[in-house]
Amino acid sequence: MVTLVRQGDTFYAQRGSYFDGNVKIDGNFVVPPRTHFWGRLAVAGRLELGPRSTVALGITCGSAIIGSNARIKGPVTADGDVTVLDNAVIHEIRAGGNVTLRTGVHVGDVTAGEALVIHGKIKSKKLVGKTVKVLGD
């Protein structure tokens, strides 16, 4: 059994958690490193997915910060901004706001409703945004 701690409208997963099946959070969700979801993850607010975490299917959320070396096998769909940290692997990103991709990210198609900012070298398919900026090597 997984225990979540609630503080206001933010939920916190315990270290070492794994979730078998789909998960829906009505608020913000802070996930520690190495947490695994074997279904879909739906977060009404902001998602902070810890480093080396995995999601087997997809993510829907208000906004997201995806930790380094995370693996998401389905699409990430966000109403707002998405930031993806170093060396994460994501099937696809669709965001209504800004998308920031850090060095070493592997991603399929990326669609940003606003700016798409790339820091360093990444591997991707189609990149779409109102503006696209590439910073660094």
Residue labelled with tokens 């901004």: 81
Q: How far, in whole angstroms, is CA 55 from its chain's centroid?
A: 9
Q: What is the largest CA-CA distance in the chain?
A: 45
Residue 101's nearest CA partner among 80, 120, 76, 114 is 120
Strand partners, 19: 37
Rg of the Cα atoms in the chain: 14
Alpha-carbon dihedral sign for residues 99, 94, 97, 51: negative
Checking if the pLDDT of 106 tops 60, the result is yes
Residue 75's nearest CA partner among 93, 53, 101, 100 is 93
Confidence at residue 16, expressed as pLDDT on a 0 to 100 scale: 82
Confidence at residue 137, expressed as pLDDT on a 0 to 100 scale: 64
Overall number of domains in the chain: 1
Structural domain of 93: 4-135
Residues 33-37, mean pLDDT to the nearest whole number: 96
Residues 6-18, mean pLDDT to the nearest whole number: 93
Is residue 111 helix, strand or coil?
A: strand
Q: Rounded to an integer, what distance in angstroms lies between the CA atom of residue 14 and that of residue 17? A: 6
DSSP state of 123: B
Residue labelled with tokens 């078998």: 20
Checking if the pLDDT of 97 tops 60, the result is yes
